[in-house]
Chains A and B, each alone.
Chain A
Amino acid sequence: MEPPADSFEVLLASALRRGIGRDLASVTRLSGGASQETYAVDAGADQQTEPLILRRRPGGASESAGVAIGLETEAQLLELAAQAGVPVPAVRHVLVPEDGLGSGYLMQRLAGETIPRRILRDESFAAARPLLARQCGEILARIHAVPRDTLPALPEAPASVQWRQYRDRYDGFDWPHPVFELAFRWIEERLPAGASMEAGGQTLVHGDFRHGNLIVGPDGVRGVLDWELAHLGDPLEDLGWLCVNSWRFGNIDLPVGGFGLREELFAGYQAAGGRRVDPERVRFWEIFGSLKWGVMCMMMLDVFERGVDRSVERAAIGRRASEAEIDLLALLASEGAA
């Protein structure tokens, strides 16, 4: 599957010289990220080293869920986001065919933490935590304000399109989840009336704005990562997704990522130029988000069962579909909905 380590390092060293004119000091494979490989790279053997991250999809590796955008597009979005004032790592080199490393890019390695439990519990982030919800609102407003005509080609995925995608994925697994059936119906009954209604307010949507993809320092959010699920859609999707209980990591009464209140998120969003937030619609996307997370757990189980990834991690995540079910029941019951 992987080329021998020495040939990878030789190729990476020449890519670094070609791309940024520096030598390879060291490279370490990092955990996480199933659809592509991530490495910590130190460049510049003799001078002061420059910490970098390599994200790449090895040549010939199959596409992941089929909805992820390419890594070149991801690099373009990082650059556009930076121009819009979104904290993101700077892109240093986009891989070219001569690099022989597949597709991907090298970016700045920002100092900070992504592990939710540390961000939510460690003393070193105590001062940052009360700021995070508002900061997330401000950052999301800037992402959603990136001019449409500057964007690379992105999938259009308003609520109706995603409903169909997730309904089809769920049906394909052919395993009954009565709670998911209820949620699919609830969402279907609340989809906007026509496709043109949805297209009107579409913006760039990050698509996976939550813990794990936010680098946090003692001063707050330092970087927004993992743009592979970016698409055009309803901007409030990003706000609802950030409130899904699975990303609160135990702090159930702090709905925004386990660190803040919806009011702080919305205030930051509107202060940074975002449109007036409809809390009902954010709630819609939170419910849809819990359902999507549940179906994603089924997707990861499927990857395990088909033998694509036989890791225990992949297998065990199938048993997290039930956390989406308990969250959906609480949400739907409080809506008094059918």
Chain B
Amino acid sequence: MNDRPSAAQLLDAVRDFLERVALPKLDGHAAFHARVAANALAIALRELALGADLDAAERERLRRLLGSDGSLEEQNRELCRRIRDGRIRLDTPGLAEHLRETTLAKLAVDQPGYSGYRRALERRRST
């Protein structure tokens, strides 16, 4: 077991440094890349916080949908094969819900401010 600070605490400290210390001193190209870098750390932080639970839920949905178990990667490969050859379609029970939940989970980590994500959340709440 490693000591504190945790990986998340370290990433957060670096993100804070980039945003509060480095960015105000930069301009042009360098400022743009510093902002992108801070944003990349924010993605990593959200993944550390949410990833394990979201992955477990995705794996459970895939187990039910496919009737088999395996790693997330294997299961996603199997789902892709079945969609590609037409065995699973958007109107196959469970697929639309699985893809919606999985994609919302990805966006919650990657880009929670994205307009399409917010709209999809509103739609889910209202149904």
A interface residues (Cβ-Cβ under 8 A, vs B) = 31, 176-179, 181-182, 184-185, 245, 248, 250-252, 311-313, 315-316, 319-320, 322-323, 325-327, 329-330, 332-333, 337-338
The 7 closest A-B pairs by CB, nearest first: A322-B106, A176-B76, A252-B115, A181-B83, A319-B110, A326-B116, A176-B80
Question: When chains A and B are docked, how far (Å) is the Cα of A245 from the Cα of B28?
Answer: 27
B25 on the interface (CB 8 Å rule)?
no
Is A319 touching B111 in the complex (CB atoms < 8 A)?
A: yes
Residue of B nearest to A317 (CB): B36
Counting chain A CB atoms within 10 Å of each CB, which of B39, B89, B103 scores highest? B103
- Residues on A with C-beta less than 8 A from B103 are 179, 322, 325-326, 329
- Residues on A with C-beta less than 8 A from B83 are 178, 181-182, 185
Residue of B nearest to A315 (CB): B40
Is A176 touching B77 in the complex (CB atoms < 8 A)?
A: yes
B111: which of A176, A245, A312, A323 is its contact (CB, 8 Å)? A323
| Secondary structure dominating the interface of B | helix
- Residues on B with C-beta less than 8 A from A325 are 99, 103, 106
B interface residues (Cβ-Cβ under 8 A, vs A) = 28-29, 32-33, 36-37, 39-40, 43, 73, 76-77, 79-80, 83-84, 86, 89-91, 96, 99-100, 102-104, 106-107, 109-111, 114-117, 119-120
Interchain nearest-CB distance for A184 vs B (Å): 8
Question: When chains A and B are docked, how far (Å) is the Cα of A41 from the Cα of B10?
Answer: 43
Is B36 touching A313 in the complex (CB atoms < 8 A)?
A: yes
- Residues on A with C-beta less than 8 A from B110 are 319-320, 322-323
- Residues on B with C-beta less than 8 A from A252 are 115-116, 119
Is B43 touching A316 in the complex (CB atoms < 8 A)?
A: yes
Residue of A nearest to B40 (CB): A316
Counting chain A CB atoms within 10 Å of each CB, which of B43, B91, B111, B114 scores highest? B114
Question: When chains A and B are docked, how far (Å) is the Cα of A251 from the Cα of B83?
Answer: 32
Is A323 touching B116 in the complex (CB atoms < 8 A)?
A: yes
Is A330 touching B116 in the complex (CB atoms < 8 A)?
A: yes
